[in-house]
Amino acid sequence: MDFDSAVRQICAKDNRYAVPAYDLVRVALDHAQKLVHGEMKKGKSIANRHVSGPQLLEGFRQYVLENYGPLSYPLLQNWGLKTTRDVGNIVFNIIETGLFGRSPEDSLEAFVNVYDFKTTFLKPFEPERRAD
């Protein structure tokens, strides 16, 4: 099954997240793998490119801020991504299809309360208040 078909099946059962949220998590996973393991070398296996929940979330944070800037927070909210746990829910929905692998130490709890979305994705773009 390809990624798009898997996401359509997931969304038919679980409509908490928009289809683009799944694409974003997939791209953020790739980004996190590059951060942790470096660029993929030709002929190397992807089997050893596992990242933990917090590592994936750091890649997610960086990718979203770099690519969406001030639109990050409203875009994530619109797609149903309101907490780090939501990212974990998407990861585990994809794992259930067999498209993402899972190691024994992986758990949804690793995605819970890693950082606050409002502080992470909105606050950096708010205007600074001047002292009177």
Instruction: List, for residues 99-121, the tens digit of each pLDDT value.
Output: 888 888 889 999 999 999 999 99
What pLDDT is stored for residue 117 in this prediction? 96
Across all residues in the chain, what is the average pLDDT?
A: 89
Confidence label for 16 from pLDDT (cuts 50, 70 and 90) = very high
Exposed e or buried b per residue across 13-26, where buried means at least 16 C-beta atoms within 10 angstroms of its C-beta: eeeebbeebbebbb
For a pLDDT cut of 90, what percent of the chain falls above it? Answer: 68
Name the residue among 101, 113, 97 with its Cα closest to residue 54: 113
pLDDT for res 63? 97
Residue 114's identity, in one-letter code, is V
Provide the percentage of residues in the chain whose pLDDT is more than 70: 92
Scored b (16 or more CB within 10 A) or e, 27-65 reads: ebbebbbeeebeeeeeeeeeeebbbbbebbbbbbbebbe
Look at residue 130 and tell me whether its pLDDT is greater than 80: no
Instruction: Enumerate residues 6+ apart whose C-beta is below 8 A from 34.
Output: 40, 59
Distance between CA atoms of 111 and 130, rounded to whole angstroms?
36
What is the tens place of the pLDDT at every residue in 33-81?
A: 998 888 766 555 555 678 899 999 999 999 999 999 999 999 999 999 9
